[in-house]
Structure 1
Amino acid sequence: MSEKDNLQNADGNEETKATANQATESTGAETTQDATSLENPTTDENTNSTSEQVETNEETKTETVEEKSNSHVDEIDESNAEDAEDESNSERHTLEEKDYHAMSMEQLVKEFDSLLKQQKVQTIKSHVDEIRSEFNAKFSELLEEKKEEFINDGGNEIDFYYSTPTKKEFNSLYKEYKSNLNAYYKNLESSLKSNLENRLRIIEEIKGLINVEENINTTYKHFKELQEEWRNAGPIPRDKYNNAWNTYHHHVEIFYDFLHLNRDLRDMDFKRNLDQKLKIIERAEELAKDDNVNRAFRELQVLHKMWKEDLGPVAKEHREDIWDRFSNATKTIHDKRQAYYADLDKAYEANLERKEEIIAKIDAVAQDNANTHQAWQKKIKTIEALRQDFFNAGKVPIKVNEATWAKFKASVRAFNKKKNSFYKNLKKEQYDNLQKKLDLIKIAEDNKDSEDFETVTPLMKKIQSDWKKIGHVPRKDSDKIWHKFKAACNHYFDKLHAERNAANKELFEAYEKKSKFLEALKDLKLSGTPESDIETLKAKIDEWKSLGNVPHSKRYIEGKFNKALDDMFGKLKMDKTEIEMIKFENKLEALSQPDDTRLLDNEHNFIRKKIDEVKGEINQLENNLQFFSNVDESNPMVKDVLNNIENHKNNLSIWEEKLRKLKDMY
């Protein structure tokens, strides 16, 4: 039923049905009385034999073929009765059916807005009701989740309020819809009442035609005018529709029976009505073959309305045959439609199974314990995907729709409860971490201006290390405290570096000189005479040393200089040991640092290790010679071993000389 409270009885549909039945009984009695009054015609022109009068009365009292009740016809009548109240009702059947269940709240609002702007307000009720139901369900779920988070964060339930721009927009659209709908029905009420009065007047005038003393052709013309008026009389209340039509049809039948006095006019109308009804039957039989059952049913409604409202009766001998054909085509379409909805029910059952599976998966995810933020974020994404799958799974049978939705919400709520519990504990831990970091900030700020670099530098490095070990803090505080801590540390270390840069000014100047010296060394040309070239390289080494030490962070430049020397010494044709010792002496100069023997210690350990390795190699080769005790030394294999031993001994002498030089540095 439409939302027309002013057109319904307060007690509901049962009272409405009872009132309609009483009206039908009343009308039936009245029309029978009118039919009986035809037995005493008032003019001689209308006088006929008693047998003709009896035949007329019997035809009038006989129930018309079209009024036989069948379930498939009743369904058409019921739909047309609904459409009779509002002529635009048929438009609502042409609106595209959409799966609102699968839409987000934002999409639902967009659909609602589109319906309001593009469709008549009286045609969108079922769509709006479904959109509203889905929107409220989704918003209710979101509201419960936000409320639980609010309470978990320490809020008082009585203070909770939550809304969104989407919710406010939806409320505004629904308010506009209700306002427009109420205005429409207020205007419709007056129109329905006026149209009903007009139709009852038409019926009364048709009833009076058989008692009018005028030429039958004039009476027939008046009758046709009244029929045209009926067709254009407009919509009436649905609970009056079938009763009004039956009464109208009954008196039309009586009038046609009355026309037996002028059979030519009656037969001409009968033929015209028969031709039109046969065309309707042919179209109905075509629709019975159409696979689009909803479209076929909608057009069938129109055909039934034309059959009842636009066309009159046919000759008695054709009535049953054509009605049976029309009824059979109707039954075929009705049965196909019932089968379609049966298949739809099966699809809904399959959707229900799918949704039950999704709910079970949500329960499984909720039961799985997770102890890290990353794990919970992964679970949240999984639940969001399952929620979307649930909405995309399609409709379920109406009888289980609410129960399925409630079960789904309960499963999601159980997950959210565990999630909120985890994050509540995590927030407590984060606030503890926040306090720890605030303590470190205080230390940093208290010492950022200190000039006791020897004492404070290790402290500042330690609190930087401690900061990294502390876990996450609340997101809203994270950036703010980090910038505060970083600013204090940077302030101290900038001051420290400025102090050191001032103290190490000479070191940086030496670095600049050595960089330029190294660049110029690339262009050095050797004479090709070993003695002269050795002196040249020694002079370069002495010049390099005279440039002084460089900052610790720039010591890599010594390695670059040594590599350049290696390349130059490699080109000299002279004793390898002498070259190695010249290079090593230069290296020792670079390793030697005031008050810091760590580099020399490392080199000392390295040389000791190399001496041990070479001695081990020599011992191994000498042991291998024992296998050649009966072989002449001219043997190639023996010669190779002896040469290898000699090379290792030479290397050993170089490493031992390096060790002596190194010991002299201490």
Structure 2
Amino acid sequence: MSEEKNDNLQFADGGAISGAGDTFENGYMPDNKVVENSEVPEDLEDITKIHETEGQLPFAPVEVLSGGKKTAVDAIEESNAEEGENDSADKHDLPEVNYESLSMEALTDELEKLTTAEKVMSVKEHVEEIRKEFYSKYHEFIDEKKEEYSHENDGDTTGFDYNFPLKNRFDQIYNQYRDRKNSHFKKLQNDLKSNLDNRLAIIDELKNLVDSEESMKDALKHVNELRERWRNAGPIPRDKYNHVWNNFHFHMERFYDHLHLDRETRDMDFKHNLEQKQKIIARAEELLQEEDIVKAFRELQSLHKMWKEEIGPVSREHREEIWNRFSELTKQLHDKREAFNSQIKEREQENLRKKQEITAMINEIAAETVSSHNGWQNQIRKIETLRNEFFNAGKVPLEVNEDTWAAFKAAVRNFNSSKNSFYKEIKKEQQDNLTKKQELVAKAQSLKDSEDFAATTPVMKQIQEDWKKVGHVPRKYSDELWKEFKAACNHYFDKLHAHRNEANKEELDAFEKKKDYLDSLKDFELTGNHKTDLDAIKKHIENWKAIGRVPQNKRHIEGKFNKVLDALFDKLSLSKKEAEMVKFSNRLEQLADSDDSRRLENEQIFIMRKIDEVQGEILQLENNIQFISNAKADNPFVKEVRKSIDRHKEELNTWKEKLKQVRNINQGNE
């Protein structure tokens, strides 16, 4: 601390003293030192009390004196010793990142960014976590590919080999980092040993200085040089840290005791040290309000290091009080850190619960029976969503991390196994479909140039129907196969249409004539004489039929003519049955001219159903009459039922006449 270094006490000869203190600041009684009885502890218990008061022991760790129980101060001392060994100047906090949520590409980019831009020790934990996550995802990915290969090769994985360039890139980056880290550790070990030797040499030099014959001025100058060399000596192995430091402090105290410094100078130094330690306490109080617990605790470690290494002792009257205050603040901050860690553990337990639920949901989905491509695609989307939720759920307790990941991988593997089995069957089915469609293409191509249209057209239509019934084929063949099939069919039907256009020239002429005739009917008007008008309408029907058939794709004109007839019949005073039969006869003749026997057959089936329905209704009405047989003939209900029976019988006769006409036409066609 530069400002504190400038506050060091100055002697007239230029020698600086920082940390000069009372003879028994750390409980040591130097040999050949005469002291006042009031300054001497009465027994070893008092010496131990002084040690505990300042939190410093020369050769025994604190936990030994405190019954084996580690305190907040102990934790900080150990951490400082560890960071001293690892060169704390090379360490700094990096923001927490949920590496589980990153893809392998993102993890590789993150590794490259950390290892090229940061110091080796500052990223060590992050790098290892990235490596663990990358390899977890990589092994899962390779397992999926291997399982797919196994399904495609009937369970044989002998020749499985999957090249994944991203892994090569990741390994290259990591290996470069590992080489840098190994070089760093090798150098660090050499530096630690060299620094330890250097510090031990400084202690020996300081020890010998006590018995030297140097003048006070030279001795003080020599001590300040040793102190400066000590500050710059660098880190040492952490298991030597406390012992070496306490040894140095002990011999530094012996040196100042040996100088017989006057009490006024000592009190000035005590006062200066008290002020510096009060500043540390004030800062520790501020740290209690710091929201970033990790940052606060790290700074507390630095405060302890300053208290121990950079500031000397205070007078006995303040010693216990000031140390107890600092220890209490340390405990409070330590308790906050423990509470914070408890919250982290609670979050990790909650994350564990979420991940276990996600794994259970994946197992449930894997156990579902799915028998369609769309169904599996929906399941795949569900699994992908759950995978992302798993990776975004956050960390779980370290002791169950491997088991949690293994259970998740097993669940995903089970799902993939079921999915791959389905698609293996689909692939086999698609191969069968491919063979069927190839046969249909070959058949269509063999018939496309046929001129026996009467025999070939039904076959080509059946080929098209068969094509529709065949399922999917492998995508890489689908488009080309369809183009070949479509080209063959189009080639044939283009020839057929050309032939029909030539052969049906008369039908096209008939269509034009019927268009003209339909236009002429717009001016036709009824005279009002029933017989005359009916004969005129029938004449129009005969003229229309005499014109002849029209092409199949022009048959809509028949519908227009029927609408005109319906309008004319509505204006005639014909009975309902008579009008119905005239219109039906005209429609029936159009069906007969359509060359589609199925249409006549369908009409006959429809009429037969209507006959059955009307007969059933008549039977029901007659049964109803029987239930009220004792009613009078003029009963309104009875009269209404009998009227309904008569109407249905009249309707039945109409349907029977229609059926007779249809059958006559069918017999004529035979």
TM-score, L = length of structure 1: 0.73
* Contact 1:150 1:160 (8 Å CA) reproduced: yes
Aligned amino acid, residue 329 of structure 1: L
- The structure-2 alpha-carbon separation of the partners of 1:643 and 1:299, relative to structure 1 and needing over 3 Å to count, comes to closer
Q: After the TM superposition, which of the residue ranges 470-479 and 297-306 deviates more from structure 2?
A: 470-479
Aligned amino acid, residue 146 of structure 2: K
Unaligned runs of 5+ in 2: 1-25, 64-69
Question: Is the partner of 2:523 in helix, strand or coil?
Answer: coil
Q: Deviations over 1:263-294 (max 9, x none)?
A: 44333222111111122123324435656542
Aligned amino acid, residue 565 of structure 2: L
* Distance in 2 (alpha carbons) for counterparts of 1:186 and 1:388: 41
Question: Is the partner of 1:95 in helix, strand or coil?
Answer: coil
**Structure with larger RCO (C-alpha < 8 A, sep 6+):** 2
* Distance in 2 (alpha carbons) for counterparts of 1:320 and 1:303: 18
Identify the residue that residue 29 of structure 1 maps to in structure 2. none
- The structure-2 alpha-carbon separation of the partners of 1:469 and 1:654, relative to structure 1 and needing over 3 Å to count, comes to closer
Q: Deviations over 1:520-553 (max 9, x none)?
A: 3585364866589778766755654454311234
* Distance in 1 (alpha carbons) for counterparts of 2:613 and 2:325: 114
* Distance in 1 (alpha carbons) for counterparts of 2:637 and 2:367: 79
Residue 67 of structure 1 is aligned with which of 34, 56, 61?
56
* Contact 1:584 1:658 (8 Å CA) reproduced: no
Identify the residue that residue 507 of structure 1 maps to in structure 2. 507
Aligned amino acid, residue 464 of structure 1: Q
Q: After the TM superposition, which of the residue ranges 154-163 and 645-654 deviates more from structure 2?
A: 645-654
* Contact 1:88 1:123 (8 Å CA) reproduced: no
Identify the residue that residue 108 of structure 2 maps to in structure 1. 109
Aligned amino acid, residue 66 of structure 1: G
Q: After the TM superposition, which of the residue ranges 638-647 and 262-271 deviates more from structure 2?
A: 638-647
Unaligned runs of 5+ in 1: 1-31, 40-48
* Distance in 2 (alpha carbons) for counterparts of 1:645 and 1:190: 121
* Contact 1:617 1:648 (8 Å CA) reproduced: no
Identify the residue that residue 141 of structure 1 maps to in structure 2. 140
1:85-164 to 2 correspondences below 5 Å: 85-91=86-92, 94-116=93-115, 119-154=118-153, 157-164=157-164
- The structure-2 alpha-carbon separation of the partners of 1:651 and 1:475, relative to structure 1 and needing over 3 Å to count, comes to closer
Question: Is the partner of 1:160 in helix, strand or coil?
Answer: coil
Q: Deviations over 1:33-53 (max 9, x none)?
A: x996x85xxxxxxxxx84479
- The structure-2 alpha-carbon separation of the partners of 1:645 and 1:388, relative to structure 1 and needing over 3 Å to count, comes to closer
Aligned amino acid, residue 126 of structure 1: E
* Distance in 1 (alpha carbons) for counterparts of 2:634 and 2:327: 126
Aligned amino acid, residue 306 of structure 1: M
Identify the structure with the greater helix proportion. Answer: 1
| C-alpha displacement of 1:458 | 3.0
1:300-315 to 2 correspondences below 5 Å: 300-315=300-315
* Distance in 2 (alpha carbons) for counterparts of 1:644 and 1:397: 86
* Distance in 2 (alpha carbons) for counterparts of 1:323 and 1:176: 48
1:516-535 to 2 correspondences below 5 Å: 518=518, 520=519, 524=523, 526=525
* Contact 1:89 1:123 (8 Å CA) reproduced: yes
* Contact 2:112 2:173 (8 Å CA) reproduced: yes
Aligned amino acid, residue 449 of structure 1: D
Question: Is the partner of 2:593 in helix, strand or coil?
Answer: coil
Aligned amino acid, residue 465 of structure 1: E
* Contact 1:607 1:659 (8 Å CA) reproduced: no
Q: Deviations over 1:584-632 (max 9, x none)?
A: 66546534539877767877888899899999999989x99x9999989
- The structure-2 alpha-carbon separation of the partners of 1:250 and 1:612, relative to structure 1 and needing over 3 Å to count, comes to closer
Alignment length (residue pairs)? 617
* Distance in 1 (alpha carbons) for counterparts of 2:360 and 2:644: 81
- The structure-2 alpha-carbon separation of the partners of 1:282 and 1:510, relative to structure 1 and needing over 3 Å to count, comes to same
- The structure-2 alpha-carbon separation of the partners of 1:286 and 1:530, relative to structure 1 and needing over 3 Å to count, comes to same
Question: Is the partner of 1:261 in helix, strand or coil?
Answer: coil
| C-alpha displacement of 1:191 | 7.2
* Distance in 2 (alpha carbons) for counterparts of 1:643 and 1:396: 82
- The structure-2 alpha-carbon separation of the partners of 1:595 and 1:108, relative to structure 1 and needing over 3 Å to count, comes to closer
Identify the residue that residue 464 of structure 1 maps to in structure 2. 464
* Contact 1:147 1:157 (8 Å CA) reproduced: yes
Question: Is the partner of 1:431 in helix, strand or coil?
Answer: helix
* Distance in 2 (alpha carbons) for counterparts of 1:160 and 1:530: 95
* Contact 2:604 2:659 (8 Å CA) reproduced: no
Aligned amino acid, residue 550 of structure 1: V
* Contact 2:604 2:662 (8 Å CA) reproduced: no
TM-score, L = length of structure 2: 0.73
* Distance in 2 (alpha carbons) for counterparts of 1:616 and 1:56: 129
Question: Is the partner of 2:55 in helix, strand or coil?
Answer: helix
* Contact 1:193 1:236 (8 Å CA) reproduced: yes
Matched, 1:322 2:311: no
* Contact 1:199 1:233 (8 Å CA) reproduced: yes
| C-alpha displacement of 1:304 | 1.0
* Distance in 1 (alpha carbons) for counterparts of 2:95 and 2:78: 22
* Distance in 2 (alpha carbons) for counterparts of 1:616 and 1:331: 99
* Contact 1:293 1:340 (8 Å CA) reproduced: yes
Question: Is the partner of 2:501 in helix, strand or coil?
Answer: helix
Q: After the TM superposition, which of the residue ranges 283-292 and 65-74 deviates more from structure 2?
A: 283-292
* Contact 1:615 1:652 (8 Å CA) reproduced: no
* Distance in 1 (alpha carbons) for counterparts of 2:618 and 2:411: 79
* Distance in 1 (alpha carbons) for counterparts of 2:343 and 2:615: 94
Instruction: Give identity over the alignment, percent.
Output: 48
* Distance in 2 (alpha carbons) for counterparts of 1:599 and 1:375: 40
* Distance in 2 (alpha carbons) for counterparts of 1:337 and 1:237: 27
Aligned amino acid, residue 416 of structure 1: N
| C-alpha displacement of 1:442 | 2.5
1:68-467 to 2 correspondences below 5 Å: 68=57, 69-70=62-63, 71=70, 72-84=72-84, 85-91=86-92, 94-116=93-115, 119-154=118-153, 157-164=157-164, 166-175=166-175, 177-178=177-178, 181=181, 211=212, 213-214=214-215, 216=217, 227=227, 230-231=230-231, 238=238, 241-258=241-258, 260-288=260-288, 292-367=292-367, 373=373, 376-467=376-467
* Distance in 1 (alpha carbons) for counterparts of 2:597 and 2:428: 51
* Contact 2:440 2:467 (8 Å CA) reproduced: yes
Aligned amino acid, residue 466 of structure 1: D
* Contact 2:615 2:652 (8 Å CA) reproduced: no
Aligned amino acid, residue 86 of structure 1: D
* Distance in 2 (alpha carbons) for counterparts of 1:579 and 1:175: 98
- The structure-2 alpha-carbon separation of the partners of 1:658 and 1:122, relative to structure 1 and needing over 3 Å to count, comes to closer
* Distance in 2 (alpha carbons) for counterparts of 1:647 and 1:379: 58
Question: Is the partner of 1:67 in helix, strand or coil?
Answer: coil
* Contact 1:430 1:474 (8 Å CA) reproduced: yes
* Distance in 2 (alpha carbons) for counterparts of 1:367 and 1:522: 72
Question: Is the partner of 2:161 in helix, strand or coil?
Answer: coil
